[in-house]
Amino acid sequence: MNNAELIPNLFRSEYSKLVAVICYKFGFDFVEQAEDIVSDTFLKASETWGIKGIPDNPTGWLYTVAKNNATDYFRRRNIYDSKILPDLKEETNQFEIDISKENILDSQLKMIFVVCDPINHIESQIVLALRILCGFGITEISNSLLISTANTNKKLYRAKQNLKNMNVVDFELTPDLINGRLDSVLRVLYLLFNEGYYSSNENYDIRKDICFEAMRLLYILINNKSTNTHKTNSLMALFCFHVSRFDARISKEGEFILYEDQDKTKWDLELINKGIHFLMKAGTNNTSDYSYEARIAYWHCQKDVDENRKWSSILQLYNSLLRHKYTPIAALNRTYALSKVKGNSIALAEAKKLNLEDNFFYNCLLIELAETETEKRKHFSKAIKLTKNKASKNILTKKYSRFIN
Amino acid sequence: MKQFMMIFRNEGIQEHKPSPEELQAMMTQWNDWLGGIAAQDKLVGSEALGATGKLLKNKEVISDGPYAEVKEYISGYAIIKADSFDEAVEVSKGCPIFANGGTLEVRDVMVFDQ
C-alpha cells in the first residue's frame, strides 16, 4: 500500500465497518456516537502514526483503538447515565466489542438493512448509505449527488432521527425481514450504482468510487446465504457488465464517449466473465427488471457478434423489460434498438408516440432518427438547451459542428 | 386517461401448422407490438389464455374445452390506457393477431363514480 494514500484508503475500507460493529453492539440509537468514536480513532491514528511511525498492522491498530474508545465511551456513559442500558452495569465485559471477521460481516449486513429502511425517502436512504455504509464525508456526498452540504446534513439528520424512532436496537435479521426488505435494499444499491454510472458529475474518481462501493455492498449480500437470491445475482451481473466498460465509456476528464467511438480494448474481460458467471447463477427464467437489464448489458459487452442478432435480442429484452416496468429511458433505448432492427423510419414513427418531447435523451435519439436537416437541427438545439451537464453539452456541441460542416 | 380491454380471438382449428421458426417470429411480433405500447407507458397488463376451459351453467360443468366445436376462442387479452376509443382502435391495428385471421374486440373498461 502506498503510504501517501494509507489513511484515505483505510478510511474508505474500515470506517463503515467500524461504525457497523459499534452500532451492532449498542444499537442504531448510537450511530452518531459511533461515527464520532470512529472519526476520533482516525484522528488519533494520524497523530500517533505521524509521531511514532506506522504500525505493522494498521488495520488491527484501528480496531483495537476504536474498540477501546467505544468501551471507554459506553462505560463512562453508563456511569453518568444509568438510565441507558441499566442492566449492563454489572458486567463490564459486556461493553467489549467483538471484532472478529465474522462479526464485522454480520454487522455490515445488518447495517445495510437498517440503512435501507423504506421509512426514509429513497434519496435519504442513498445519502445515509453513502455516509454510513461507504464512509463518505458530507462534502463528498454533496459533490457526488450535486446537492448542497446544508441539504445533505438536513437529509442525514432527518433520516437518522426516523430510524431512532423505529427503535432499531432490537433489530434482528429474521428471514421475514430479509424477504420483506431485500427488494428495497437492492433498489438502493442499484440507484447508488447509477449515481456513479450515469450521473452528470464530472469527477471521474468520485463516480468510479461510487460504483465500486455499490458493488462492494452487493458483494456482502452475495456472500450471505439468506440474501444470495436470483435478483441479487442479476444485479451483480449488471454491475459487472457495466463496470467492465467504465473506462471505455468515460474519459479521465469525465466526458462520456459514444458507444461507437469507444475503445473496445479497454473493456475488462475478467469483469465480463464474472458478469456471465452471476448471470448464470441468476438463471435465465428470472423476470426481475435487473435480469432484463443485465442481459441487455451482456449484449453490449459482446464484440464480434452478428449485429443483427445482437440488436434483435436487445430489442426483445427491452420489450419485455417495458412490459414488466415502464421507464422513459427504457422506452427510448427500446426505440433506438428498434431503429437498428427495423430501420429509422419505423423507429421514428414509434418515437413520436412516446410523449417525451422535453426529455434530453429523446432529443438525442431524434437527432439520429430525424429525416430532414431542419428536424435534426431543431433537436440538436433543444438537446443542448435541456442539459446542464457540461460533458454532455460538449459532446453535443462537437457533434453539432461536425454535422453542420 | 381511460382504460380499454382488447380481447383476442383466434380460429378454433388452424389448417396451417406453424414451424418453430414461425412460432418464434409470432412471439417476437407480439412482444414488439406490446413493447411498443408499453414504451408509451400505456400498457396496463396482458395475459395469454390456455387452450382448455370449462363452461359452467347452474353450477354444473356443461362443457369442457378444448373447443373442437367452436369456430373461435379467446386466446388472450390486454388492457391499455388511451384517451379515446379512436386511439384504442388505432393502437389495435398493429396487433399481430390479424396475420392469422384472428379478430380483436376493443371494449371500454367501465368506470364508476366514487
DSSP states of A292-314: HHHHHHHHHT--SS-HHHHHHHH
Partnered with residue B55 across adjacent β-strands are B63
What is the Cα gyration radius of chain B?
16
Cβ neighbours of B47 in A, within 8 Å: none
Q: How close A385 gets to chain B, by Cα (Å)?
A: 24
CB A400 within 8 A of CB A380: yes
**Which residues does A355 contact at the CB level (< 8 Å), separation at least 6?**
B40, B41
User: In angstroms, what is the C-alpha Rg of chain A?
Assistant: 24
Which residues of chain B does A352 touch, with a Cβ-Cβ cutoff of 8 Å?
none
The C-alpha atoms of residue B7 and residue B75 are separated, in whole angstroms, by 8
Query: B94 touching A, CB under 8 A?
Result: no
Q: Is the distance from CB of A320 to CB of B35 less than 8 angstroms?
A: yes
Separation of alpha carbons B88 and B80, rounded Å: 8
Query: From residue B41, how far is each of A217, A334, A338 by CA, in Å?
Result: 33, 13, 17
| Termini Cα distance of chain A | 51
pLDDT in tens, B49-104: 876 778 888 888 877 665 555 667 888 999 999 999 999 999 999 999 998 788 99
| A311 and chain B in contact, CB less than 8 A | no
Torsion of CA A149, A19, A199, A228, to 10 degrees: -160
In a 3-state reduction of DSSP, which class is residue B3?
Answer: strand
For residue A78, the distance in angstroms to the closest alpha carbon of chain B comes to: 58
Rounded to the nearest 5 degrees, what angle is found at the Cα of A341, between the Cα atoms of A337 and A342? Answer: 110
Closest CA of chain B from A230, distance in Å:
24
Contact yes or no for A326 and B36 at CB 8 A: no
- From chain A residues 323-342, the ones with a CB under 8 A of any chain B CB are 323, 326, 330-331, 334-335, 338
- Whether residue B12 lies within 8 A of chain A, CB to CB, comes out as no
Rounded CA-CA distance A150/A169 in Å is: 28
Residue A199 backbone class (left: φ over 0; alpha: ψ -120 to 50; beta: rest):
beta
Neighbour count for residue B112 (Cβ, 10 Å):
4
- Tell me the residue type at A149: T
The nearest CA of chain A is from the CA of B40 a distance in Å of 5
Specify whether the CB–CB gap between A75 and A100 falls below 8 A.
no
Higher pLDDT, B20 or A338: A338
Partners of residue B35 in chain A, C-beta under 8 Å: 315-316, 318-320, 322-323, 334
- Do the interacting molecules here have an ipTM over 0.90? no
Whether A318 sits inside 8 A of B32 (CB atoms) is: no
Mutation target among A320, A321, A323, A339 for the B interface, most CBs of B within 10 A: A323
Q: Which of A18, A147, A194 is nearest to A139 (CA)?
A: A147
B93–A contact, CB cutoff 8 A = no
**Yes or no, beta carbons of A316 and B41 under 8 Å apart:** no
For A321, which residue in chain B has the nearest alpha carbon?
Answer: B35
Query: Which residues in chain A have Cβ-Cβ distances shorter than 8 Å to B28?
Result: 312, 316
- Asked if A73 and A25 touch (Cβ cutoff 8 Å), the reply is no
Cβ contacts from A onto B, under 8 A: 47
Do residues B102 and B9 make contact, with C-beta atoms less than 8 angstroms apart? yes
Q: Average pLDDT for consecutive 10-residue bins of chain A (405 residues)?
A: 71 87 82 88 85 85 89 74 53 66 85 90 90 86 84 92 70 85 92 82 78 93 93 96 88 72 87 95 82 94 91 95 93 95 95 92 90 90 81 74 67
Give residue A81's pLDDT.
60
Tell me if chain B has a CB within 8 Å of the CB of A320. Answer: yes
Residues 144-173 of A with CB under 8 A from B: none
Tell how far CA B84 is from the center of its chain.
Answer: 19
Q: What is the pTM of this model?
A: 0.80
DSSP-derived 3-state class of residue A74: helix
User: Cα dist. A5→A8, A55, A138, A259, A378 in Å?
Assistant: 6, 15, 20, 34, 49
Residue A83 confidence (pLDDT): 52
Q: Which of B35, B40, B41 sits opposite A319 (nearest CB)?
A: B35
pLDDT class for B13, splitting at 50, 70, 90?
A: low
* Of residues A316, A353, A354, nearest to B31 (C-beta): A316
C-alpha cell, A28: 442504531
The answer to whether B36 contacts chain A (CB < 8 Å) is yes
| pLDDT for the residue A1 | 44
Question: Is B36:B94 a contact under the CB 8 Å cutoff?
Answer: yes
Handedness of CA B16, B21, B27, B30 (dihedral sign): negative
- B67 Cα to chain A: minimum distance (Å): 30
* Contact assignment for B35 to A318 by CB distance below 8 Å: yes
